[in-house]
Amino acid sequence: MTITIYHNPACGTSRNVLALIRNSGEEPRIIEYLKTSPNRAELIELIARMGVPVRSVLREKGTLFHELGLDNPVLTDDALIDAMIAHPILINRPIVATPLGIALCRPSERVMDLLPAPQRGAFTKEDGEKIVDESGKRIV
């Protein structure tokens, strides 16, 4: 089975999602999207498969979002996609694709809804929040 994560190793949420995927016994295909960005067609397809508005995939925190005026409601989806292609840091993360679907996995435990296999043991997020017990059962 193929699971793909669009990952930023500097992001705690992204690291937690990767660890949850691995805790289910899967080794995903990891795309560090800041190094290997999706092209325009790939990004459009990802967003379409998620079934969400383009704007919901934009990341504000720690990006050029405000400097580029991306909060302007008259900007078209094409303009927003152009900005994400030019500045991949604007793509919110992590995006995970599995045979069960594709989603922006914020908060990190959202990835469990996409994983075909259950968690194999306890899992505690980097911030100390326990979200899976020893039996692999989701706590939150």
- pLDDT, residue 1, reads 61
Q: Which domains does the chain have, with CATH numbers?
A: 1-33+93-140 (3.40.30.10)
Region 51-62: mean pLDDT is 95
Using pLDDT thresholds of 50, 70 and 90, give the confidence band for residue 140. Answer: confident
8 A C-beta contact, residue 17 and residue 111: yes
The residue assigned the tokens 């949420």 is 13
Among 5, 11, 54, 57, the one annotated catalytic: 11
CA separation (Å) from 22 to 10, 38, 117, 132? 18, 23, 10, 13
For residues 109-127, average pLDDT: 96
pTM, two decimal places: 0.94
11 labelled catalytic: yes
- Render pLDDT for 64-88 as a digit per residue (tens, 0 to 9): 999 999 999 999 999 999 999 999 9
